[in-house]
Amino acid sequence: MYQTMEGNARPHRTAQCFSEGSQDSTPATQAELLRALQSVSDNIMRLAGKLHADRDATDDDADAIIQQNALAEQLIGRLLAMPASQT
């Protein structure tokens, strides 16, 4: 179900956590990375819906989609780089 409330377009805490700490030395588990990827995907869909439905959408919203897309690509790269023993 599509929700149009403005607050729904804000990034989830999980996505922010991985965007801030994705370069640290502690490797994330596959489950953590998949959970973060799902959160980022949800953010992208919400922001895209907001841009499509709201005439007052700003450039910040478009920039947020670009940032979330970059984070998604980074998470996918980390998942693909995991050794088979960790998956």
Residue range 12-63, pLDDT digits in tens: 554 455 555 545 545 689 999 999 999 999 999 999 998 888 877 788 888 9
Ordered by start, the domain boundaries in the chain are 29-82
Check if the beta carbon of residue 52 is closer than 8 Å to that of residue 2: no
68: which residues sit within 8 A by CB, 6+ positions away?
Answer: 11, 15, 40, 43, 44, 47
pTM of the model: 0.65
Contact assessment for residue 47 and residue 9, using Cβ atoms and an 8 Å cutoff: yes
